[in-house]
Amino acid sequence: MPLVLSAKPDSVAVTIYRDPQRAAGNPINKGSPGAFALIAETRVVDLPPGEVVIRFEGVAGGIVPQSAILFGTSPREKNRDAALLSQKGLVDNFTGQAVILRRTDPVTGAVTEERATVRSAAERLVVTTAKGSEAVYCSGLNQTLIYPGAPADLSAKPVLTMTTKDQPGGKVTVTLAYIATGFDWDASYVAVLAPDGQSMSLLSWLTMASADETSFIDATTSAVAGEINRSDETRDDTGQRAKDEARWLNKWANCWPAGRTHEIPEYGGPMPPPPPPPPPPMAMAPAMMDIVVTGARRQEKAMESAIAVTAVSEALGDLKLYRIPIPVTVASNAQKQVAFLNAPKVKGDLVYRSRIDGRTNDPTMLFRFQNRKTEGLGDPLPAGQVVVYQDGELGRQVVGETSTRNKAVGEEVEFEFGEPTGVTVESDEEALLKGKPAAITTVVRNANPFAVRYELELPTYDGRIYKGLPGKMIRKPGKQIWAMTLAPGSETRLHWTVAEPKAVK
């Protein structure tokens, strides 16, 4: 059956999905990203008529072969080719054939070479020379095999082969689409809080990570926000075992007896030297390269920098797709970052909040806003980390960090980013812990030279009833909120009661 080689794609599109098992705020696992990408490669191939085997080189190393689809000609079968150009692949292909065995004396540095024939590589590499048979690498010497050439069926790149059905032949443009593991992406938000606390500028960065060995040059690149279900097949069949076996030969397995046959003691030879220590564990994939930022930015003016490229959002069913409008290179074992949201003024409120859960917790600062266009945003917010800055006498400074879950358009968003020192709260903790009606005194102090909005969040999941707090309570699922404005340098004393509801008879 004719074999047609397609060495590389003519164009490629990469759509990266986020790991749904990674919690908001947790960083991407750089060495082993837990999500995947949809790769669509366009290639032009010249096919002879009839059934043809097309050999696609340069596919992703983490390709899930059962997910592959071929458009442009009808496929009959598909196979992931694990015969990579590697030590094991060379040994397997040259079993029974002649090679050169090179040795280097560790004391003198003298190099010697002799002809050898590869006999076995199932458990250890055995060769036969004019002096007898030996297990290579078991003598303690620096040894290596020199091969006369690379077999034609070994590839230096990951390979997928597909056999077509009977077809007329000719120059055909085909598209190979498949899922590949070892990708992930995350959202990072840089927020600058306005001096009056009534708005913030928000810039979002999309960080794409690839631990794959294949680079996709000038790819049309997108990222999908939202959580999708994955089958066990596409999650677990990464081909990692096949790739590891192709790259690594267990040189020290079963290295006893060691040496050539005429040197083994039971045949009158001297006692061989002890075997070398076992090799260290396999190295992980190369460390991720430094992040490549497509828009220039400076830390002290993170929101005022020029942004070269901003991803464009599109609807994808119930999900959201962010498409980078220019081709970018998704490099192997690397990360890339691009802006995908730039909102110069998101209107909201700076709030100081205490929660009561058997005790009154210290206040935290948060910025709350509604994700609506009228408030300056109105775009879905993917889960990610948030760094909050604010301008002060010494310039722009970090005032807190937090994380956010996926937030839809129209949803309330809270960035809880720090613990204030100017607002404090004290309560009668003994009364709070009592399981019967109790009178509670709470003292709230605002030492700041400006007024602040303060909220007391009270749980209602156990049916507790709160009375005595001035003004109206704001009811939300599972909680009630009491709020007031604290004047500069003020102290507010609250007297209120808490009781469990009466049992229903």
Cα–Cα nearest to 447, from 487, 418, 485? 487
| Pairing status of strand 216-225 against strand 35-47 | unpaired
CA dihedral over 69, 75, 79, 81, signed as positive or negative:
negative
Q: Which two tokens stand for residue 106?
A: 């560790």
Q: Could you please report the per-residue DSSP string of 250-288?
A: -TTTT--S-S-GGGSGGGTPPPPPPPPPPPPPPP-SPPP
Average of pLDDT values for 477-482?
A: 86
Q: Are 323 and 222 in contact (CB under 8 A)?
A: yes
Least confident of 4-8, 144-148, 152-156: 152-156
* Mean pLDDT of the chain, nearest integer: 78
Q: Are 116 and 133 in contact (CB under 8 A)?
A: no
pLDDT recorded at residue 194: 92
pLDDT recorded at residue 288: 37
Q: Tell me the pLDDT band of 343, cut-offs 50, 70 and 90.
A: very high
Per-residue model confidence as pLDDT tens digits over 89-113: 677 667 778 888 888 877 888 888 8
pLDDT recorded at residue 87: 65
Per-residue model confidence as pLDDT tens digits over 158-174: 788 888 888 898 999 99
Burial of 306 (0-12, 13-18, 19+ CB in 10 A): exposed
| 246: three-class secondary structure by DSSP | helix
pLDDT greater at residue 181 or residue 394: 181
Per-residue model confidence as pLDDT tens digits over 230-248: 665 555 444 455 455 544 4
pLDDT greater at residue 219 or residue 97: 219
Q: Count CB neighbours of 298 within 10 A.
A: 9
Cα–Cα nearest to 382, from 165, 241, 225? 225
Burial of 110 (0-12, 13-18, 19+ CB in 10 A): exposed
Sequence-distant (≥ 6) Cβ neighbours of residue 504 within 8 angstroms: none
| 432: three-class secondary structure by DSSP | helix
Q: Running DSSP on this structure, what letter comes out for residue 308? A: S
Q: Tell me the pLDDT band of 150, cut-offs 50, 70 and 90.
A: low
Q: Running DSSP on this structure, what letter comes out for residue 187? A: E
Average of pLDDT values for 327-354?
A: 91
Least confident of 77-81, 205-209, 307-311, 380-384: 77-81
Q: Tell me the pLDDT band of 121, cut-offs 50, 70 and 90.
A: low
pLDDT greater at residue 432 or residue 200: 200
pLDDT recorded at residue 217: 93
Q: Is the pLDDT of residue 29 over 80?
A: yes
Alpha-carbon gap, residue 299 to 31, rounded angstroms: 27
pLDDT recorded at residue 139: 61
pLDDT recorded at residue 78: 63
pLDDT recorded at residue 267: 43
Average of pLDDT values for 104-123?
A: 80
Residue corresponding to tokens 């009839």: 50
pLDDT greater at residue 40 or residue 459: 40
Average of pLDDT values for 181-198?
A: 92
Q: What percent of the chain has pLDDT over 70?
A: 74
Alpha-carbon gap, residue 383 to 388, rounded angstroms: 16
Q: Tell me the pLDDT band of 45, cut-offs 50, 70 and 90.
A: very high
Alpha-carbon gap, residue 23 to 422, rounded angstroms: 32
pLDDT recorded at residue 259: 46
pLDDT greater at residue 359 or residue 115: 115
pTM over 0.75: no
Per-residue model confidence as pLDDT tens digits over 268-288: 444 444 444 443 333 333 333
Alpha-carbon gap, residue 327 to 323, rounded angstroms: 10
pLDDT recorded at residue 93: 67
Question: What region, left, alpha or beta, does residue 317 occupy, with left being phi > 0 and alpha being psi -120 to 50 degrees?
Answer: left
Which ranges of 265-397 would DSSP assign to H, the alpha helix? none
Q: Running DSSP on this structure, what letter comes out for residue 435? A: S
Cα–Cα nearest to 216, from 7, 14, 32? 14
Cα–Cα nearest to 116, from 125, 104, 105? 125
